[in-house]
Chains A and B, each alone.
Chain A
């Protein structure tokens, strides 16, 4: 539980501190992983398989999110030639 909390906090810090989009996505991964750790720990505490099933769903969501996010970054990089999150703050298409 403590490990999940610490990992989640680290991911959040990384998301807030870094301005590089790749780093922000990696921090998101860390946060999703921390949520999975919490689920599995709870599942093994109560001896139920539900926690592990939730982790499998988290895995699927993370895979989908990463593929779409990286595709968006490719488009952004082609358009702005940088991966700075502030470069895309105008959103004018």
Chain B
């Protein structure tokens, strides 16, 4: 398992270097995904298969999809299709595909080995992890859930397009009209056009 660890580690470092030196955000994202997959294989060779699965699903799956969506949203325009076509030229995806092929070969080699992994490090399975996670670390789980809730609300609030305030659209419910109506709140909205709720 030593050789697989070093191969995956060098693939991770190589992909990260390529990620930093790219000029285009989408190309950099491709290399970043390859780097995360390589780190997942490093976790597997370190004897943490549960964390390896989480890395692929959450990091390379969910977080990177978020990145891709935002990068695409920031490039909205008439020429979007043309730019997208120019991003995915064959010369660009050969690099990440090559690195990913190395990783797939490694996974196939590890799967072909009969029996459980003979890793050089200790094997800590999902059972031990979850026993500890919901035992002494329960308060941490609760804190993480609160953090994620705050992140959801914050992200929604920040990314929402600015709404026009209703009071500035119809000048009905503002303090000015209330004064003009002599403090009579019933008459304050009398000049509102009919048929509007």
Q: For B57, give the chain A residue with the smallest CB separation.
A: A59
Q: Is the interface of A mostly helix, strand, loop or mixed?
A: helix
- Number of residues on chain B facing chain A (CB within 8 A): 57
Complex CA distance for A28 and B109, rounded to whole angstroms: 32
Name B63's closest neighbour in chain A (CB-CB): A66
Encoded as 1 (CB less than 8 Å from any A CB) or 0, chain B from 24 to 40 comes to 01001100100110010
Question: Which residues of chain B come closer than 8 Å to A53, judged between CB atoms?
Answer: 129, 132-133, 137, 140
B122 contacts across to A, CB distance below 8 A: 44-45, 47
Asked if A57 meets B124 with Cβ closer than 8 Å, knowing A14-B20, A67-B151, the reply is no
**Given contact pairs A44-B121, A64-B148, a sample of 9 additional A-B residue pairs in the complex whose CB atoms are under 8 Å apart:** A7-B16, A10-B16, A30-B16, A40-B48, A55-B51, A56-B129, A66-B66, A67-B151, A67-B154
Interfacial residues, chain A to chain B (CB-CB below 8 A): 3, 6-7, 10-11, 13-14, 17-18, 20, 22-23, 25-27, 29-30, 33, 37, 40-41, 43-45, 47-53, 55-57, 59-68, 70-75, 77-78, 83
